[in-house]
Chain A
Amino acid sequence: MAETKSARPLSPHLQVYRPTITMTMSIVHRITGMALYSGTLLLAWWLVALASGPEAYGWFEWFISSIIGKLVLLGYTWALLHHLLGGLRHFLWDTGRGFDLKTANTLGWASIIGSLALTVVVWILAFVLSGVL
């Protein structure tokens, strides 16, 4: 391995490129994936508390209805929707379609705008159905 550490030029990395929408959405797809990974702890807490009884569930309700809990759940909602839309984009690419610049850029913008819009819709629905709005 010693030879590979000689003064050979490295291939250009992220910082030398002007950010493009496709590149940014690729990075965000990975970040939301990692966020959802940690977020499964929230799902596990919800289900285990529900199985444990009203007292344990009360602690979960206390957390999730707090400001921090709501922000975490809001972030989780957006991360899930963004990763979901990003995944659909990958399914299209898997068929060999959608690689031309125009389509790829449009899909990139669609995934960020679509995920933000859907997050708003989901939360408004939740507030309306729970009688807060």
Chain B
Amino acid sequence: MSREDYEIVMGLEVHAELSTKTKIFCSCPTEFGGEPNTHCCPICMAMPGTLPVLNEKVVEYAIKAGIATNCEIAKNSKNDRKNYFYPDLPKAYQISQYDMPLCERGYVEIETEEGKKKIRLTRIHIEEDAGKLNHDEYGRGSLVDLNRAGVPLIEIVSEPDLRSSKEVESYLRKLKSILEYIEVSDCKMQEGSLRADVNVSVRKKGATEYGTRTEMKNMNSFRSIVRAIEYEADRQIDVIENGGKIEQETLRWDDVSGRTFPMRDKEDAQDYRYFPDPDLLAIKMSDEYVEEIRRNLPELPESRKKRYIEEIGLPEYDANLLTASKYLSNLFEGASAICNNPKAVSNWIMTDITKELNERELEPDQIPFTAEQLGNLVVLIDKGTISSSIAKKVLVELFENPKDPMKIVEEKGWIQISDEGAIKEVVLKVLENNQQSVADYKAGKDKALGFLVGQAMKETKGKANPGMLNKMFLEELNK
């Protein structure tokens, strides 16, 4: 038996920090960073006698996420306590949701090599984040910072519908993009505002029962997730092939050694003794309230994609790439509105902008120039003020030192020469200096024209209007 005889089965629990201004049960700010314990109050520090009050935006954002992922929204919901001891959890319980989550039974669609695939969601519930333990560098103890304690999270739980690390990556990217579009989370994986627990099991192809699963906690980069899945699936197949049995356990992925390690003592099998939090009251959602949120939901990537294909006539591949990120999509729409040439804008994003992003290792949300500036660049090309080869240079400038493209062009002296007299002068000079090409052209070698135009471009440092050059060369050559 080899690896090809096995199928990997995975489900994800994705935690996304909500971008509310305040924490879930108190009025402390959620802002990332800050001096330790300065975004805290007696409530999120679990001082005796304090009482939580639920932030209304947390409920609204969770319902938004539920609607955007095709979930049913509960009419009745509540908060429960999940009990465990850990020093980053000051109450010794986390307020979460157990049997009555806000959202259930949804799905998101991902693209796979075999076409579209629905990944079912079990549920989305709200809960609070824990604090952070800083380990003393001398190993004498730990230091507790509770700035993150009480920051609102949604946990999005999928069914075990994922079959490869590639599918897991597409699913995560899709979720991230949806949450960004509906503006409920900024999904910055490097800051931990989007992280995933991955449940992995393997089984022989064709088997109907699931294998025993292991869980890898708190993964926060696409790269580690893919590596960890590959490693863990291989490990499990090895164990089974050697006649062993997979233990159900929680694992920690170590990025440095590229291995997984058991995290908890198996004896303390998870037993969180959930019960309804008596400090909080029931949550009831009226149809009107849910409808209101549905009506005001920003346009989702799927719908934008459809519009780009059907109304603008972009190829599906381009529409996919443009809508994969809210930032690219907004850039595209904003620039198109200014220059009224969406196909040109799309080409710029698909080619030169994507290339610059890759070379500079930037994410779309880090693009330094505005949609207006990109739109104005396309206007300059369309008006004939600059050639497209100059435009490429302007784009690099937009990445380096963003300002209005017209200003860049003026300052650099890059304005296209469209003056007939000036162009004629260049054409005559190039013809004079390239008698051989002229002879070639007259002998029927059309390619010679391209060479002559190229020479004229070189002569003018790319500033000559290429259409006019072409026309004038033809006139002179055919005289």
**Is the A/B pair a real complex?**
no
